[in-house]
Amino acid sequence: MAIDELDARLLELLAREPRIGVLEVSRRLGVARGTAQARLEKLRTGGVIRGFGPDVDPAALGFPVTAFATLEIKQGRGEEVRRHLGGVPEVLELHTITGEGDMLCRLVARSNADLQRVIDQVVGFDGIVRSSTAIVMENPVPLRVMPLVRHAAGRRPPGAARAAGRARGAAGEPGPRG
């Protein structure tokens, strides 16, 4: 779905202040309340906005260990494996993939020892042939979508114009003012 500058500003405002009301959104964006409401509904029905729930941190719930498990599954057992993994609360995400393995899951656990329990529960299903697990040490770029929102709306990320100007100047090209 294509978005424009107003959609991007609306999404950025909601990302910064998820509890803001539509009337305040319209005031801050300088548009009519009906416009703000219609844009919000368009983004929701178009699947851009997937929900308004809280952003829950698994670590704060007592699950500070994150790992990714690549799973190789038996031919024709994908649907059964999906159901099995859907029943494991510590499986936060499941993706089907290309390359090494067939599925990639993001797992959480209370400790490294607890991670072994989770892995045993995940792979203790007849449809899973092999697994490989990598424990996350650090998450220097957490899940983010606002740079993508700005890009989709045709805007540069904050600071990109200055960086582009410096790069032109260093290459002997005229800068933004020259």
pLDDT at residue 55 in the model: 85
Distance CA(22)–CA(33), nearest Å, equals: 7
* Main-chain phi, psi angles of 71, to 5 degrees: -115, 135
pTM over 0.85: no
Residue pair 37/22 in contact (Cβ under 8 Å)? The answer is yes
| pLDDT grade for 54, boundaries at 50, 70 and 90 | confident
Q: What pLDDT, on the 0 to 100 scale, is given for residue 176? A: 41
Q: Residue holding tokens 């400790």? A: 111
Q: Which amino acid is at 100?
A: E
Beta-strand runs (E) in the chain: 65-73, 91-96, 103-109, 128-135
